[in-house]
Chains A and B, each alone.
Chain A
């Protein structure tokens, strides 16, 4: 970069220094012949202005709040306001989860994040056969508007922002949220929050798909259109690298596959006739915070710069807000160990710090016990406190992008950018993200990285403290949080009661209107809202759509 240094004389001095170090290596060898990070990027002994000389400060790095946003999306970043502290939570029934949300808000959490159970995420009511054993396990069971009313009971929706991890049935849960707000007297314009609504990564990495890609993409763009008109402060998608990384990808692949999915959504929306600057500003992202500290910081910076470039150059966005990656971060669940679980507190703290130094807009810190079970209240509290310590005690939030200008991080940012861009080019040549997933390319890349990572651990080349080094004999953990299996039975009772109390004609009418809309081209949000208000259940609504759209079957990518 533009340091006032004569690069030639510096390069020659650096060469001399390197030679003198290398001449002594036989006596004082380094720990490894070659240092590679988990993305396979070589890590050099030292970084100097020689390494960043190809970068132009104004075009590649720039100022925070301005294109290409490498240093952050707001000009003052955390000097204005800290990131939103948002712990993903939900389990059992709506009553229990409502209590957990109130606990978290009392502890100083600043936003809600709803975890739904698997039946809800796959569009089954709690009384469905496929729901056996899964009700309330990984999140809260929501089968109808009635459950949603209970979930947000006593939580004024004009005063919190709420993120909902919901994809295939995102339209239905968003409609339920709008209907609860309506009952609280809160208008859609006042609502702030996010629905994940990112179906492509469900096919490649997370697995809660229902419908085939084509109708799924239509639902996604229907939500874009509806939100940009009616719910202007709502993030209509959260394009997620988190699960791609958890499934085993490298940092470079996380960025590449996420932004490739982003390109597919933008293209679908443009094809549906939407204006890039109408929905562009409401696109948000979700990334992982893994262990390699500097690589993670560089990853967020590279992602910002690359997306800004894609939106500006490829899609000709004009509004700078369309070019910004605003993102949520969650620390890497897959790095937590079941062995010596308290060590996870330290892992999570470092990962959270990387996310903050990378300029995240909101953050979930994992609980130490998550390799064992759902987080206990005490574990969640420590996790939240870790964020508060970073925010209020460490001073890292007092200046914008404090790590910017590190020769290493700037060079690594550039390297990740280039490697991710090369992947995106490859995916473009395959016909885009949907086609690359359909061919199994993305899945194979991810599973190969996962296997490589595991092999490194098993060969002892990658040290996991407490697992393959520094292990101890430990007591079996006690007092783990468990979901009461009676949750399913009480859900079934609630559904019976609901179905006997509601106006069945209204439900039938709304569902048949929805079916017509699905067969035609009308935006699905209107009919879904009317069905939800009539207390049609999630399962009934999704079954109606299943009849029209069919169901997706996974591509098998195992075996050579």
Chain B
């Protein structure tokens, strides 16, 4: 391979939560790491996110919620991806997400959950490793 294709990431804010400091910081770090980031902006429905992901042909969806609605909205995104037959997008999540909620989120197909205090380089590393598999 001569030129490596840039990793494309959809950074998404599902639901009504307005906290976008985290997703913007992560998006900036991913861009600095050479990835292309498309940011949805606030208040996206799971359907809008899945449609944008397909349309933009992304490799990764990074979801962020701090309002506690992850228990409904994250699985909904995964369900719609399945419905569309999408299997090759790596989905990760972040926000204020209690540890005890993580197993259920992983069971529905979210690859990893990054909580408060995460080093952005860990997210970069996780994405690169996840896409090599």
A residues neighboring B (CB under 8 Å): 118-119, 121-122, 124, 130-134, 137-138, 202, 206-208, 246-248, 334, 336-339, 371-374, 447, 450-451, 454, 458, 464, 467, 476-477, 480, 482-483, 485, 553-554, 556, 558-559
Q: Is the CB of B116 within 8 A of A247?
A: no
Partner of A451, one of B18, B24, B73: B24
Q: Is B68 an interface residue (CB 8 A)?
A: yes
Give the chain A neighbours of B99 by CB distance below 8 A.
476-477
B residues neighboring A (CB under 8 Å): 11, 15-21, 24-25, 27-29, 31, 37, 39, 41-43, 45, 67-69, 71-73, 76, 96, 98-100, 115-117, 119-121
Question: With A119-B16, A337-B116, A480-B98 given, is the CB distance from A447 to B73 under 8 Å?
Answer: no
Give the chain B neighbours of A334 by CB distance below 8 A.
21
Tell me whether chain A's interface is mostly helix, strand or loop, or mixed.
loop
Give the chain B neighbours of A118 by CB distance below 8 A.
15-18, 67, 69
Q: Is the CB of B67 within 8 A of A137?
A: yes
Give the chain B neighbours of A454 by CB distance below 8 A.
25, 29, 120
Q: How many A-B residue pairs have CB under 8 A?
A: 112
Cα(A465)–Cα(B17), bound, Å: 28
A-B contact pairs, 21 of them (CB 8 A): A119-B16, A122-B43, A124-B16, A130-B16, A132-B69, A133-B15, A133-B71, A133-B72, A134-B69, A137-B67, A207-B19, A246-B21, A337-B117, A338-B117, A371-B117, A447-B24, A447-B28, A480-B98, A553-B41, A558-B24, A559-B31
Partner of B18, one of A130, A202, A374, A482: A202
Give the chain B neighbours of A208 by CB distance below 8 A.
16, 18
Partner of B96, one of A131, A248, A337, A372: A372
Cα(A371)–Cα(B31), bound, Å: 26
**Closest Cβ of chain A: how far from B93's Cβ, in Å?**
14
**Closest Cβ of chain B: how far from A155's Cβ, in Å?**
26
Cα(A151)–Cα(B73), bound, Å: 28
**Closest Cβ of chain B: how far from A435's Cβ, in Å?**
20
Cα(A131)–Cα(B121), bound, Å: 34
Cα(A334)–Cα(B20), bound, Å: 12
Partner of B39, one of A134, A450, A553, A558: A558
- Minimum-distance CB pairs A-B, first 4: A207-B18, A133-B72, A133-B69, A118-B16
Q: Is the CB of A556 within 8 A of B41?
A: yes
Listed residue (A476, A477, A553, A558) with the most chain B CB atoms within 10 angstroms of its CB: A558
Listed residue (B17, B20, B27, B99) with the most chain A CB atoms within 10 angstroms of its CB: B20
Partner of A247, one of B20, B43, B72: B20
Cα(A445)–Cα(B19), bound, Å: 16
Cα(A558)–Cα(B116), bound, Å: 21
From A551, which residue of chain B is reached at the shortest CB distance? Answer: B43
Listed residue (B16, B73, B117) with the most chain A CB atoms within 10 angstroms of its CB: B16
Q: Is the CB of B24 within 8 A of A338?
A: no
Q: Is the CB of A554 within 8 A of B41?
A: yes
Q: Is the CB of B17 within 8 A of A207?
A: yes
Cα(A341)–Cα(B15), bound, Å: 27
Give the chain B neighbours of A207 by CB distance below 8 A.
17-20, 42-43
**Closest Cβ of chain B: how far from A130's Cβ, in Å?**
6
Q: Is the CB of A137 within 8 A of B18?
A: no
Q: Is the CB of A373 within 8 A of B117?
A: no
Give the chain A neighbours of B117 by CB distance below 8 A.
337-339, 371, 464, 467
Question: With A337-B117, A476-B99 given, is the CB distance from A451 to B28 under 8 Å?
Answer: yes
**Closest Cβ of chain A: how far from B68's Cβ, in Å?**
4
Q: Is the CB of B121 within 8 A of A458?
A: yes
Q: Is the CB of A556 within 8 A of B39?
A: yes
Give the chain B neighbours of A202 by CB distance below 8 A.
18
Give the chain B neighbours of A132 by CB distance below 8 A.
69, 72-73
From B66, which residue of chain A is reached at the shortest CB distance? Answer: A138
From A248, which residue of chain B is reached at the shortest CB distance? Answer: B21
Q: Is the CB of B27 within 8 A of A130?
A: no
**Closest Cβ of chain A: how far from B23's Cβ, in Å?**
9
Listed residue (A133, A334, A482) with the most chain B CB atoms within 10 angstroms of its CB: A133
Cα(A339)–Cα(B72), bound, Å: 26
**Closest Cβ of chain A: how far from B109's Cβ, in Å?**
17
Q: Is the CB of B69 within 8 A of A137?
A: yes
Question: With A137-B67, A559-B37 given, is the CB distance from A371 to B116 under 8 Å?
Answer: yes
Q: Is the CB of A483 within 8 A of B20?
A: no
**Closest Cβ of chain B: how far from A376's Cβ, in Å?**
12
Cα(A553)–Cα(B41), bound, Å: 9
Give the chain A neighbours of B25 by CB distance below 8 A.
248, 447, 450-451, 454
Other A-B pairs, 17, CB within 8 Å; known A207-B42, A373-B98: A118-B18, A132-B73, A133-B72, A133-B73, A134-B16, A134-B68, A138-B67, A202-B18, A207-B17, A207-B19, A248-B21, A339-B117, A374-B68, A451-B24, A554-B43, A558-B24, A559-B31
Give the chain B neighbours of A447 by CB distance below 8 A.
21, 24-25, 28
Cα(A226)–Cα(B21), bound, Å: 35
**Closest Cβ of chain B: how far from A92's Cβ, in Å?**
11
Q: Is the CB of B45 within 8 A of A559?
A: no
